[in-house]
Structure 1
Amino acid sequence: MKKFLVGLFISAILIACNNEKPAEQKDESSAVPVPEAKMQPVEFADPKYMEMGKNALAALSKGDVAGWMNGYADNAVFQWNNLDSAVGKAAITDYWTKRRTESIDSITFTNMIFLPVKVNQPQSIEQPGVWLLGWYTVNAKYKKTGKRMIQLLHTDIHFNSSDQIDRVIMYIDRVPVNAAMK
């Protein structure tokens, strides 16, 4: 019993010595300065832009040029990788209306991949703001020849602060297009 009481006494002393109050404990994490969150040059943007891209392509597939153009700003620029371009919503609408009514019998887009990104700090010549990067397969049948053109496309779409498209850059190989039109 004596050993038990001695053991209990020693245990009580050890517990008392090691039982510091939480307020008296040192918070070592506060001693280390927390770095401020640094803005990343590029970050993911809202997934709603992916739906906007899919809806626009669906409208163009149906021949609904007005639906295709619905999200465009009045001052939009549509540029191709060969540096040709259409400037202004009216000019872009005229171009696509003519293509869909006179040249393209049908057009579909498959294997779509969209990546919405927000450019906070441009790394080159790109505009800051939201970009929707799109990759997909286009399958177009031409009216005059009945031939098909199938190829992979890459498109960069920039949105202004009102979520309207103000710049499109389409990377397309004109060789298959020209062959299908001959």
Structure 2
Amino acid sequence: MKKIAFIVICAVLLLNCKKEDTKETSKVVSITDSIKKPAEFADPKYAEIGKKSLVDMEKGDMDSWMDIYADNAVYVWNSGDSLVGKAAIASYWKQRRANVIESISFKNTIWLPILVNQPQSIESKGVWLLSWYKTTAKYRNGNEMTQWIHTDYHFDSIDKVDRVIQYIDKALINKAMSK
């Protein structure tokens, strides 16, 4: 009988301990939930904006491709080259698409929209769309180039792209453009 009473008392104590642990855990979770995370997933609509822009580039519809850009947009490559302003970006890419690139395709796309609440270095707060895709470009000289490209898009408060950072291997492009 003493053994049964001892087992029952132990079981009751264990159950009460479990209930207390659960209460404390839920308190911690509610405090944690109120703290803003440094970064979190953003609305998937930004991935759709990115996907549409690649479709527009493939079709050569550069006016539609430019719709996502803010007037003060900056387009930067990992090489350090850059374009400043929507007009400069439009001029460069329209000329390139019309006179240099015969066709271009994007495959195996990956899209990650994130909201940066607390920048960790030089990146801006707000919505960033990170993308990776396999790009194949056929140039008007008959040569072709394929490489993985990583592009980061930053959106302003009215969902226009105000900064693009694109990571490419310029050597592959230069080789394909040589005669």
TM-score range, shorter chain: 0.7 to 0.9
Give the aligned CA root-mean-square deviation in angstroms. Answer: 1.5
State which of 37, 47, 50 in structure 1 corresponds to 2:47.
50
TM-score normalised by L of structure 1: 0.81
Which structure 2 residue ranges, 5 or more long, are not aligned? 1-21
Residue 29 of structure 1, CA deviation: 4.5
Tell me what 2:145 maps to.
149
- CA displacement 1:29-62 (0-9 Å, x = unmatched): 59x6852521000000000001000000000000
> Which aligned runs of 4 or more in structure 1 are off by greater than 6 angstroms?
none
Higher helix proportion, which one?
A: 2
Q: Residue 72 of structure 1 is aligned with which of 54, 69, 72?
A: 69
1:79-98 aligned within 5 A: 79-98=76-95
Identity of aligned residues (%): 54
Specify the code of the residue in structure 2 equivalent to 1:63.
G
Aligned residues: 153
How far the C-alpha of 1:162 sits from its partner, in A, is 0.3
Partner of 1:181: 177
Find the residue that maps to 2:121 and give its secondary structure.
Answer: coil
Amino acid at match of 1:97: K
Q: Equivalences for 1:76-155 in 2 at 5 Å?
A: 76-143=73-140, 145-155=141-151
Q: Which runs of 5+ in 1 are unaligned?
A: 1-27
Question: What SS is found at the alignment partner of 1:50?
Answer: helix
C-alpha separation in 2, matches of 1:64 and 1:86:
20
Structure whose CA Rg is larger: 1
